[in-house]
């Protein structure tokens, strides 16, 4: 009797254990709907619910692979580009999707008619994606990229599927082997009758052979280059341009720089160049002949009571013309400091719109590139432009003797509708006198 009772207890315990295992499997199966492929991806807190599983359990592997953090997303947009600029061209991306960026780090650059604008990251994080493409026309506020503050990346579990069995090809039969080894009978070749040789063709006029297209490279114009091309062509179509020339002896100005360059650098922190001497000469000439500083507006003439000198600077991206404001109130040191600051910004591409707006007269120094002589084009809406050229040692007659002198050709292109030849010649002559003898500026003669 006791043995029968023990056997019944063991049977009931076995049934209960099987029932528990079955329910545990169904619970795991229900749980897999949330974490196995095909189910929705859940946030990290779900990982805590699978801690009871073994480390090598496939459920833990899928849960870890599909968990992700939905970090905050921020938009990098095109900033305000200036009062007179409404749009620009997205020139280049400096980063790639997946790169990490810091706050205010430049992501892309936008080219406008005048300057290059940087698009900065609003927050530190990872670049999720680019919304715009290079070459797109963008306006202030246009979304360019999406930045995520989350550093976590969602990874997928490797596929565990085994490659399907590829059916093996059966070995060739003896008949097929014999057919491959047997030589194929060649069809007899019939000799074709020889055709009579054609008569030599008559000489014909052919079109010239052009270079193949693969030896050419087509590149779209930048916004800055388009703007420069349009303004210069408009200037040529509007103004009655005429150029007059003169030459200047650079001996005294070069000696002045040589004698005081060290003391000038020590006191003012910038080098004494030749450009400041020409700026002072232009200011003096504009004060003597104010019509050169004027401009035609419809049927009126506008006489400017200020002197803002534009300096043409060639950069890798194109020609820019920053402005020295109120040059008539500056001395040599002030002019050199301003030229140094503007030239550095021009080469770095950091000039602002305000630093290039306006200007009543332009100086273009082609001599730094070796130009001997040129006829520069007027920079609208101005009425004249001075061209400086290279310094060349030439034989000159001084006091009845032939001596070598450092000489430079000067040119001034002017709007003949407003400025007569007399004013243009006297203007250039005044610059020559001041550069050849800077002491005139001290004596105001």
Nearest to 88 by CA among 287, 227, 271, 205: 227
**Strand, coil or helix: 394:** strand
- Ordered alpha helix ranges (H), 239-272: 251-268
What is the longest distance spanned by two Cα atoms in the chain?
A: 152
Active site residues: 416, 420
The order of strands in the sheet holding 88-93 is 116-120, 106-111, 88-93, 137-138
Which 8-state DSSP code applies to residue 406?
Answer: E
Residue tagged 């034989």 (tokens): 395
The structure tokens listed for 54 are: 């073994």
HSE, CB side, 13 Å, CA atoms: give it for residue 257: 17
CA–CA–CA angle 46, 49, 51 (5° rounding): 120
Within 10 Å of residue 79's Cβ, how many Cβ atoms?
Answer: 12
Q: What is the phi/psi pair of residue 228, to 5°?
A: -60, -45
The structure tokens listed for 416 are: 């003949």
Contacts of 422 (CB under 8 A, 6+ apart): none
Please list the residues that pair with 315 across neighbouring strands. Answer: 318
Contacts of 141 (CB under 8 A, 6+ apart): 77, 78
Nearest to 141 by CA among 77, 86, 87: 77
Cα–Cα distances (Å) from 94 to 4, 100, 125, 244, in that order, read: 85, 12, 15, 47
The structure tokens listed for 92 are: 């280049």
Distance CA 342, CA 335 (A): 11
Nearest to 345 by CA among 95, 353, 432: 353
């Amino acid at each position: 009797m006791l043995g029968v009772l023990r056997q019944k207890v063991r049977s009931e315990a076995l049934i209960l254990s099987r029932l528990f295992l079955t329910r545990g499997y169904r619970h795991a199966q229900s749980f897999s709907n949330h974490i196995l492929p095909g189910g929705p991806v859940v946030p990290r807190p779900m990982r805590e619910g699978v801690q009871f599983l073994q480390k090598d359990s496939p459920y833990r592997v899928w849960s870890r692979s599909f968990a992700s953090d939905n970090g905050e997303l921020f938009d990098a947009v095109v900033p305000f580009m200036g009062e007179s600029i409404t749009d620009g061209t997205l020139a280049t991306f400096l980063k790639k999707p997946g790169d990490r960026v810091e706050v205010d780090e430049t992501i892309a650059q936008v080219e406008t008619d005048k300057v290059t604008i940087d698009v900065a990251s609003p927050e530190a994080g990872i670049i999720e994606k680019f919304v715009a493409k290079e070459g797109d026309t963008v306006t202030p506020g246009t979304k360019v990229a999406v930045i995520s503050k989350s550093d976590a990346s969602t990874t997928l579990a490797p596929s565990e599927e085994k490659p399907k069995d590829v059916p093996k090809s059966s070995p060739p039969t003896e008949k097929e082997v014999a057919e491959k080894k047997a030589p194929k009978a060649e069809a007899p070749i019939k000799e074709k009758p020889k055709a009579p040789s054609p008569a030599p063709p008559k000489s014909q006029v052919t079109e010239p052979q052009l270079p193949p297209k693969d030896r050419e490279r087509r590149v779209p114009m930048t916004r800055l280059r388009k703007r420069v091309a349009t303004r210069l062509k408009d200037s040529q179509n509007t103004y009655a341009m005429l150029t007059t020339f003169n030459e200047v002896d650079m001996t005294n100005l070069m000696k002045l720089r040589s004698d005081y360059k060290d003391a000038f650098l020590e006191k003012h922190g910038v080098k004494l160049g030749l450009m400041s001497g020409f700026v002072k000469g232009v200011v003096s000439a504009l004060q003597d002949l104010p019509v050169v500083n004027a401009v035609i507006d419809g049927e009126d003439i506008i006489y400017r009571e200020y002197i803002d000198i534009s300096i043409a600077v060639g950069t890798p991206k194109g020609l820019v013309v920053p402005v020295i404001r109120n040059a008539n109130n500056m001395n040599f040191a002030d002019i050199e400091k301003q030229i140094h600051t503007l030239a550095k910004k021009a080469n770095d591409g950091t000039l602002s719109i305000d630093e290039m707006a306006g200007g009543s007269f332009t100086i273009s120094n082609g001599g730094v590139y070796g130009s001997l002589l040129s006829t520069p084009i007027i920079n609208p809406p101005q009425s004249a432009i001075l061209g400086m050229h290279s310094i060349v040692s030439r034989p000159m007659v001084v006091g009845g003797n032939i001596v070598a002198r450092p000489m430079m050709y000067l040119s001034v292109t002017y709007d003949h509708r407003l400025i007569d030849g007399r004013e243009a010649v006297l203007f250039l002559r005044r610059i020559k006198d001041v550069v050849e003898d800077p002491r005139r500026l001290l004596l105001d003669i």
